[in-house]
Amino acid sequence: MASLKRRYYVWLIKAYFKKMSRTIISSLVLGILVFFAIVGLLNYYFRPLIFKTTENVGYAGSYTLATLPPEILDEVSYGLTKVTADGQITAGAAEGWTVQDEKTYTFKLKHGIKFHNGQELTSKNVNFNFENVTEKVIDKYTIQYILANPYSPFLSTVARPIFGKKLAGIGNYKVENVDINGGFVRSITLSNTKVKNQKKKIYFYPTQRALKVAFMLGEVTKIYGAITPTVDNVDLSKWKKVKTEDYTNYTGLVAIFYNNNDSVLNNKKIRQALNYSLPEKVSVGERAFGPIPPNSIFFSQPPTYKITDIELAKTLLSSVKDPIKDPIEISTTDEYQRVAQNVQKAWEQIGIKTKIKIVQDVPSDFQIFIYRIKLPQDPDQYVLWHSDQRNNITHYKNLRIDKLLEDGRSISDLEKRKKIYADFQKYLTDDAPASFYYFPKEFNLSKS
């Protein structure tokens, strides 16, 4: 009897499913679709409304809108080209380009790129406005620049971010608000164009100490480019839930500049002796030994690379007719006072006496000056070392170097440029108008 009942119920269930199968399947599919629609709605709309995510970030330094750190500008927009960390030119807003007679650059824009205000990027609104450059709109997506003279760094120059009206860019973040005081940016708020309600507010502090104190107080949860992770003898990297990332900043170079017009330092042997007596390693960064960073495709090891030799330095000094009697003055800023003290100790080993002078900026007259320079994306260092340039603070003059610098910025062929800058590094480091000391180590700190 029980067996008959079970068969009856099985038959009844099968009959029900046979009759209602379409309704059951369609209801099941509809239910699944409704479920995922609700989940998507919660994640996309309601969750961002409830959980607004604003990341507070800090940098040290005084910046105008035109001089903001490149990593910030790159998030908001990009140029016709992009420059990789090793100096190679890649496509940006332009899908391709041609170079004729070293002076005519023609760029083909990618289609469908839009500014944050919805306007499409076309040849007419690529508003670089270069001086001494003729701009021609060939068609809607083709733009041409005709230079008065050959200038091979032009391809890295057009990597400058493109902006439309009211700072509308073409990157992943758009500018929502900018707080400016006295021409300098105090803070800038960026919103993610890909993720709803994800924002980033970037604060700028006048000093490294102010930046790290703001991190301690919780004003910002991330700081970038800290020279050390410590402030007032407190090591922030040892705090709980603080993540620390250290890296070598190859866009900056701390150098020891020698005044080549000075009655002592105009002697090449003395400059070489000072250079060779510097330590092989430094605790605050990666030893440099040359003017171009080792991650660049234009880097070349000159014969003097990594030479640190106290005995060789002493031999060079002993061959100088007029011995150095008076202390040599080292000028530097507060930021590099400890670096100057380490250099001072190194030179004591070869019998050179020095005194340190703290200055606020690049002095108009000095014997030795320790300072950090910002390296260009292109290997061109014409403004730093060419004999007729105002920024050649060492007053260095070398006709061979002048010619190499002139050729380096007038020839666009990559392999030829590599050879030119290999010779540039070879002869410049041998002359030692400066000691290329180190690429600074920097720290990014974040609270989890």
Task: Please report the pLDDT score of residue 98 as a whole number.
Answer: 96
Instruction: Tell me the pLDDT tens digit for each residue of 207-234.
Output: 999 999 999 999 999 999 999 999 999 9
- Kindly state the percentage of the chain with pLDDT values over 70: 88
SS (HEC) of 319-361: CCCCCCCCCEEEEECHHHHHHHHHHHHHHHCCCCCEEEEECCC
Q: Return averaged pLDDT per consecutive 10 residues of the chain, 448 residues in all.
A: 52 54 60 54 45 85 92 95 96 96 97 96 94 95 97 96 94 96 95 93 96 96 95 93 96 97 97 97 96 97 92 95 92 95 97 96 95 95 97 97 97 96 98 98 94
The sign of the CA dihedral 355, 360, 362, 366 is negative
Task: Please report the pLDDT score of residue 248 as a whole number.
Answer: 97
pTM: 0.83
Instruction: Tell me the pLDDT tens digit for each residue of 382-391.
Output: 999 999 999 9
Q: What is the DSSP letter of 167?
A: G
Task: Please report the pLDDT score of residue 188 as a whole number.
Answer: 97
Long-range contacts (CB closer than 8 Å, 24 or more residues apart) made by 207-211: 207/60, 208/60, 208/335, 210/60, 211/58, 211/59, 211/60
Task: Please report the pLDDT score of residue 34 as a whole number.
Answer: 52
Task: Please report the pLDDT score of residue 390 as a whole number.
Answer: 94
DSSP 65-86: GGGS-HHHHHHH---SEEE-TT
Distances (CA, A) of 28 to 25, 40, 206: 5, 18, 62
Q: What are phi and psi of 320, to 5 degrees?
A: -80, 130
Q: State which H helix or E strand residue 204 sits in.
A: strand 198-205
Task: Please report the pLDDT score of residue 5 as a whole number.
Answer: 53
Task: Please report the pLDDT score of residue 47 as a whole number.
Answer: 45
